[in-house]
Structure formats: structure tokens, C-alpha cells
Structure 1
Amino acid sequence: MDNKILGVDIGATKIHLGVVEGNKVIQEVQFPTLPDASKEDIIHNLINGIESLGDHDLQGIGIGVPGLVDEKKGIVFDLLNISSWKRVELKKHLEDHFKIQVMITNDANVFALGEKIFGKGKDYRSMVGITMGTGFGTGIIANNKLYSGNLSGAGELGSIPYLDKTIEDYCSGKFFREQYNLSGTTVFKNAEKGDPEALKILDEFGVHLANAIKTILYILSPEAIFLGGSVSRSFKYFEASLYNSLESFPFKKILEMLVIQTAYTNNISILGAAALIISEAENKKDSNKSLSS
């Protein structure tokens, strides 16, 4: 893990690049995502950003994106908030230019894998990472490995129908905006002041999140669930209602063993993207051991 790896987080509003050595980001740069720019211009900006970090002897480049990905071919589909990125052979573009390995997956997968390798998830064979911000994303670790499914679409639990809408509408920042016409930040700040209405709203949020977690338990039964994203910073205000609502889950032994924690690893998007390269190298080692034994 001492080799340098480039982690890239392509977000809806900005692109964040960082050189990872060991468990630290030693150099980074970020610049705005241009939603109306051409596919070629965005790729050009990305290459320039990578080159601006200097001539590092990189082991590889790992990338997280808010969209679907053919991970084997490194093709990105329908990238959120970038209208020109309907089908981009990003892996080929970058590997042809830099002559090193490039791996790409969905950004929620990056969060989960980053927590597994660099954060609180190290001790768990099975875990789920949930990001709650403008949306609701989940990444799955099964038997110590990222499970991303076809086109990195595994774990898109936010799209599951729930009440009159979807899980995402009730378990992300959308809940505060759509149900109460408030931002999550405003609700959190008001809760910090002891505002009864804000505390009531966060209690309600905890009930909805508990229902989403029950779905995760039925499908995956992980050892641990780690909460990230801006909404998770209000955890202390919805923790009690979440656990109270989880009591209706029928398999009590699973609940007793379940760990639910917030995760605030610095630069997790960059570290998680770099973890794609680390994980691939470890998988190859395991395969070689199996072949030789």
C-alpha cells in the first residue's frame, strides 16, 4: 500500500483528484465540473488536472462517478449532471494517455470500499456503506470484496418504491426539502439549538431510515452499516428513533450483532477510488495463491 495511486472523484459539481500514498492523500487538486461542456472537453480537463499533480510513479488510477459503469471495459453511462456523458470510454482514453491501469465504479461503491480498506470497515467481512446527501447511495462489501453487480448497479436501494415515492425521497436531503421545505443543514442547526420542530423532523427521518435498513438486512444481512454524507452528521438526533423502529425487525440475533456507525474518514472519495487499485492487486495475489496451491 506504499505505492502511489491517483484517486479521482467525478462529482456533479466538481472533480477532485488526489495522489494517495499509504493511507494519506499527499497532493490534491479540484476544479468545477462543467455540466454543459462537451465530452471531449471534460476528458481534456481531467487529463490536464491529473498532469498538474506532477510526474508521479503511479501504480494506477481509480475513479468514482455518479452513474452506471461497465467496470470491465471502463465505460461510463449517463453521468449525473453531465449531459454530454451518455457513453464515455473513460478507461481507454486514460490508459492510452497515461499507460497505467485505470479502474472505475459508482461513487457509492467507492465510499464502501474506502471505508473497508481505510476506515472503520477493516474488521468486517460483510458491510454496507450508505451515503445520505442530495441522494441516497449504497455500496456493498461481501466476503471482504466489493460487490457491484452488473454496470455497478448493485445497491441502488434508493430507487426502491417506498410510501408514495422512493427510499431516496425519505432517506436523504430530499426528505427535508420535499416534506418540510427546509434544507438538511437548517434542520441540523435548529436541532443543535434544541428546536422542538427540528428534533421532531429528525425523529421522523430516523423511522424512514430504519425502514430502509430493514430492507438491507433482509437482502444482505451485513455485519455492519456505515453512514456517510452530510445528513449523517445529524445522527445523534435520529439515532434513538432509528433503533426504536428497528426493534420490529423479526430476526433479533441479527439486530444484536449489527453495528451501525457514522463514518467521517477524511478524503474518503479519493481514498476509496484509490482502493479500487489496491483491491484489484490483492485479488490478483489471492488468485495466484489459489493457482499455485
Structure 2
Amino acid sequence: MKMKYVFGVDIGGTTVKIGLFDVEGNVLDKWEIPTRTENDGEKILPDVADSIREKMKQMDKDAIAGVGVGAPGPIDAAGVVHRAVNLGWKTFNVKETLEALINLPVRAGNDANVAALGEMWMGGGKGYKDLVVVTLGTGVGGGIIVDGRMISGSTGAAGEIGHIHVDDTETDVCNCGNKGCLEQFASATGITRLANKKLASTDMDSVLRGGEVSAKTVFDAVKARDPLAMEVAEQFGKYLGDALAAVAGVVNPEAFVIGGGVSKAGEILIDYIRPHYEKSVFHGCREAKFALATLGNDAGIYGAAKLVLDAVADR
């Protein structure tokens, strides 16, 4: 029987998003279940299997191509997660574990890499085969697509652009344990940090003084031409633009797609990133396009579904 359907699963620290797709990439249904992280996350995959099995009661199992999974933490090409701290997971094979629970083919990858695949397939990167997706949220995530395929690396850590070292003078420690990571300056928390440092170091008037300081309020202030906020945006743009120039020198993408909560600021983000990128980048990579992600929180389930369809196409 011809395959008609595929499940995409995006495992987050709070909820698991699950989508049912047809093989053309249309989402037919989507829902969420809680992520139960207690006892080293031992309930997470059984809960996913139970939820999908419930949906499959209304379906012909032979028409299902399989289940794709994206999860935080390094996941290699064989489906082995090399510790996912947010979920409590130690090192084990996600693919084989879920296959045993659900009796369907499973493919697994790092959530940021999988989201990048989704944006390439049906989102802001549609039409490109070589791209880098940058997720600016609480942290900075990245996913690298080369010739239409997700790059995982030897231990699944490819695309961890948030932990590129960008500042030798930083004394605060990043969540990864190092100092001076891109994530400390270009994430939502990083932008807030830059703004608070700027407010403390100068007497410049700013709409940010005395109010809430967040990535959103900073870029709202930038749009209102607030001079202090514009200086913060310039700092942010230099850190991220220079880092992406370094990434481009390695993978030479056609496009960078910017997603995550910070991307809701819109095109103004790109206005601050691109000049620094173009100033620093190797000339052969200068023509890379910049675009905003369009799938939002659904990028992970789209990409997880595409993981399975790519595996089917390779058989």
C-alpha cells in the first residue's frame, strides 16, 4: 500500500507537540501532551507512543510511513541522544526505544536541526537546499541543511551556533559552562542583558528606563528610534552578524532563516544583522539571503515528519 501519512513529534521541556501530516506536507491534525521529565524522563517516549497509538485507532496502520522525533540535546544519525539535560535523559537510542514501543519506523534528531528541516520544507527556507536556520529564543539554536539534508555531526552537536565563542572579555558563565558564547549576547536573555548593561553604564535618556526590559521592549524601542535601544541592537547585530559570517565560511548557505521568539520583531532584526555579516564574511558567501522563519512553534513537527519522508525516499 502507498504511504499516505507521517507523524511528527517535537519534544520540549514542558510539552510534546505531535502532528499528523500527509506526505505532501499538509498538517491534518496537531495536539500536545505534557512532558513528564521525572525519573530521568522515563515516561516521555511511552506517553508519545500512547498518544500516537490512540490516533492510529482511526487509521490504517499500513498507510503510515513512520514517526519523526525532534528533541533537545545532541542526537546523532543513528538516533542516539547524548544526554538531554532539559528532559533528564542520559545517553540512549531514541529511535530504537520508540520503535519498540510503537512498532513503526522512527527517525530522530536534535530539535533545532529538525526545525531547520521544517523551515526548508514548508517555511521561510522553502526553495533553498543549502541553508542555516538560527533560532533566537531563551538560547540560540541552529540547524544546518546541506543539499536538502540535515547535518547532525558525529555526536549530533552540529549546528550549536549559540556556543560559538564570540567574546574573550566575558566573565559570566554560559549555560554550557563556557564564557563568551554567542547565546550570551544574541538570545532574548542576551539582548536583555546587553540592554541592562547599557542602561547601567550611561545616563542616556531611553524609554527603557524605569520600565520592563526585554528583547521585545528593546526592539519596540528601536522601532521608535530610541538612541540607547539602537546602540543595543547594533551590539546584538555585530555579535550575530560576525558569528554567521564565520558559519558561512564553513557551509556557504544560500540563505539564513531567523526564527524563535526574538524573530517576532520582524525585518528590523535583519537590518542590524546583515551589515555586520557583509562586512565580515568571505566574498564568496556575501550573497546569502536573509529571511524570517514562518512556521513558528510548528517548525519542529514539520521537520520531524520530513525526517521520516527523507528516510522513505532513500530506501
Give the TM bin, normalised by the shorter chain: 0.7 to 0.9
Give yes or no for contact 2:256–2:289 (8 Å, CA) kept in 1: yes
Single out whichever of 244-253 and 60-69 deviates more from structure 2.
244-253
Q: Could you tell me which amino acid in structure 2 is paired with residue 232 of structure 1?
A: S
Q: For residue 36 of structure 1, report the CA deviation from its aligned partner.
A: 2.9
Shift in alpha-carbon separation, 1:229–1:2, aligned structure 2, 3 A: farther
Shift in alpha-carbon separation, 1:2–1:101, aligned structure 2, 3 A: closer
Distance in 1, Cα, partners of 2:272 & 2:43: 47
Q: For residue 191 of structure 1, report the CA deviation from its aligned partner.
A: 4.1
Q: For residue 188 of structure 1, report the CA deviation from its aligned partner.
A: 3.6
Match of 1:53 among 43, 55, 77: 55
3-state SS, counterpart of residue 267 of structure 2? helix
Shift in alpha-carbon separation, 1:2–1:81, aligned structure 2, 3 A: same
3-state SS, counterpart of residue 130 of structure 1? strand
Give yes or no for contact 2:245–2:278 (8 Å, CA) kept in 1: no
Q: For residue 100 of structure 1, report the CA deviation from its aligned partner.
A: 1.1
Distance in 2, Cα, partners of 1:280 & 1:158: 28
Q: For residue 233 of structure 1, report the CA deviation from its aligned partner.
A: 2.0
1:166 equivalent in alignment to 2:181: yes
Match of 2:80 among 75, 93, 100: 75
Distance in 2, Cα, partners of 1:242 & 1:116: 21
Match of 1:236 among 257, 264, 267: 267
Structure 2 residue aligned with 1:44 = 46
Distance in 1, Cα, partners of 2:281 & 2:97: 50
Q: For residue 172 of structure 1, report the CA deviation from its aligned partner.
A: 1.3
3-state SS, counterpart of residue 280 of structure 2? coil
Give yes or no for contact 1:111–1:272 (8 Å, CA) kept in 2: yes
3-state SS, counterpart of residue 227 of structure 1? strand
Single out whichever of 200-209 and 63-72 deviates more from structure 2.
200-209
Structure 2 residue aligned with 1:262 = 292
Shift in alpha-carbon separation, 1:120–1:39, aligned structure 2, 3 A: closer
Distance in 2, Cα, partners of 1:228 & 1:67: 19
Q: For residue 216 of structure 1, report the CA deviation from its aligned partner.
A: 1.0
Q: Which runs of 5+ in 2 are unaligned?
A: 171-179, 197-212
- Superposition map of 1:79-98 within 5 A: 79-83=84-88, 85-98=89-102
Q: Could you tell me which amino acid in structure 2 is paired with residue 178 of structure 1?
A: R
Q: For residue 81 of structure 1, report the CA deviation from its aligned partner.
A: 1.5
Q: How many pairs align?
A: 281
Query: Which structure carries more strand by proportion?
Result: 1
Q: Could you tell me which amino acid in structure 2 is paired with residue 215 of structure 1?
A: A
Structure 2 residue aligned with 1:117 = 121
3-state SS, counterpart of residue 38 of structure 2? coil
Q: For residue 88 of structure 1, report the CA deviation from its aligned partner.
A: 3.4
Q: For residue 150 of structure 1, report the CA deviation from its aligned partner.
A: 1.1
Structure 1 residue aligned with 2:69 = 63
Shift in alpha-carbon separation, 1:88–1:253, aligned structure 2, 3 A: closer
Shift in alpha-carbon separation, 1:40–1:242, aligned structure 2, 3 A: closer
Deviation readout 1:59-100 (Å, 9 max, x if unpaired): 10000011112331x2323213222x1123332232122211
Distance in 1, Cα, partners of 2:230 & 2:34: 35
Give yes or no for contact 1:5–1:20 (8 Å, CA) kept in 2: yes
1:177 equivalent in alignment to 2:178: no
Give yes or no for contact 2:267–2:292 (8 Å, CA) kept in 1: no
1:208 equivalent in alignment to 2:277: no
Deviation readout 1:126-167 (Å, 9 max, x if unpaired): 211111111111111112222211122112122121112111
Distance in 2, Cα, partners of 1:202 & 1:259: 20
1:30 equivalent in alignment to 2:21: no
1:141 equivalent in alignment to 2:156: no
Q: Which runs of 5+ in 1 are unaligned?
A: 285-293
Single out whichever of 186-195 and 49-58 deviates more from structure 2.
186-195
3-state SS, counterpart of residue 152 of structure 1? coil
Shift in alpha-carbon separation, 1:88–1:175, aligned structure 2, 3 A: same
Give yes or no for contact 1:202–1:237 (8 Å, CA) kept in 2: no
Give yes or no for contact 1:39–1:88 (8 Å, CA) kept in 2: no
3-state SS, counterpart of residue 125 of structure 1? coil
Structure 2 residue aligned with 1:128 = 132
- Superposition map of 1:190-229 within 5 A: 190-192=221-223, 194-229=225-260
Give yes or no for contact 2:113–2:142 (8 Å, CA) kept in 1: yes
Q: For residue 250 of structure 1, report the CA deviation from its aligned partner.
A: 5.4
Give yes or no for contact 1:130–1:137 (8 Å, CA) kept in 2: yes
